[in-house]
Amino acid sequence: MRRCLVTCSVLLALAALTGARPPADPSLPRRLADTGGGSQLITAEAAATGATTGTVTWWDLRSGRWVAAGTAPARFGANGLTEGASREQGTDTTPTGLYDLPYAFGVAAAPPGTRYSYRRVRNGSWWCQDNAARAYNRWVEPRPADCRASEAERLITYPAQYARALVVGFNYHRPVRGRGAGIFLHVNGRGATAGCVSVPAAAMDRILAWADPARRPHLAIGTRSGPTAITRY
């Protein structure tokens, strides 16, 4: 009887000690090497580098735990995903890595609740992808002479995909020529993207209504495992 009482006392003490500790956070953001330092995060995860589909999840950091605020099916580049630091322009691959989200834009008006700076697309709105142009990987309006139309994207010609979008900070702040330009989180088109991440229109609206620039949201893109595993970023 005494042995049983001692054993039970020990078990109760361990249970109390375990209960006093905050529960472990097994969420995907907790396993990432970096989340950007903010309290919001979007993850875009594919099964492997050859995949053109996957999952986008947006997360809130609450009381030290990452909680999923929403999820949606995602589409990636027609040629899958590749390491962002060595990506080459024109390969139709989505760059893996961790990126900020500088601003939002769209052919349509911003959805209710949008807090991001939102730029409306007009007839003269272009995204310059010309490696020889001074405005490489930038919105230009009107298109400057040194940015060839054949090397730029006229945004209004993609009314479905660019109905609403977020600029992804890939190769944006200090552009490397030939690395790639015009990577966005945008609405789905008919199939895989040219290197962007896309989601259904309703999900894009929910993301824009949720995202708060004051909370410094970032986008982490990667695969489930391997050299481009999302947990490495």
Question: In angstroms, rounded to a whole number, what is the distance separating the alpha carbons of residues 113 and 231?
Answer: 31
156, 160, 166, 168: CA torsion to nearest 10: -80
Pairing type for strands 197-199 and 184-187 reads parallel
**What is the average pLDDT value for the chain, to the nearest integer?**
92
State residue 6's pLDDT score: 42
Q: What is the pLDDT of residues 58-67, one digit of tens each?
A: 999 999 999 9
Query: Encoding tokens for residue 102?
Result: 């500088």
**Which class for 66: exposed (0-12), middle (13-18), buried (19 or more C-beta within 10 A)?**
buried
Q: What is the pLDDT of residues 6-38, one digit of tens each?
A: 444 444 444 444 444 445 668 999 999 999 999
Q: What is the number of other CB atoms lying within 10 angstroms of the CB of residue 71? A: 14
Q: Please check the confidence at residue 5 and state whether its pLDDT lies above 80.
A: no
Query: What was the pLDDT predicted at 8?
Result: 45
State the pLDDT at residue 26: 87
Tokens of 224: 């489930």
Task: Kindly report the pTM of this predicted structure.
Answer: 0.90
Looking up tokens 């040194």 gives: 146
3-state class (DSSP) for residue 203: helix
How far is the C-alpha of 112 from the C-alpha of 209, rounded, in Å? 7
Query: Residue 149 and residue 63: Cα distance in Å, rounded?
Result: 49
Helix, strand, coil: what percent of the chain each, to 5?
20, 30, 50
Q: What is the pLDDT of residues 73-109, one digit of tens each?
A: 999 999 999 999 999 999 999 999 999 999 999 999 9
Asked if residue 117 has pLDDT above 60, the reply is yes
CB proximity list for 136: less than 8 A, separation 6 or greater: 128, 129, 130, 175, 177, 181
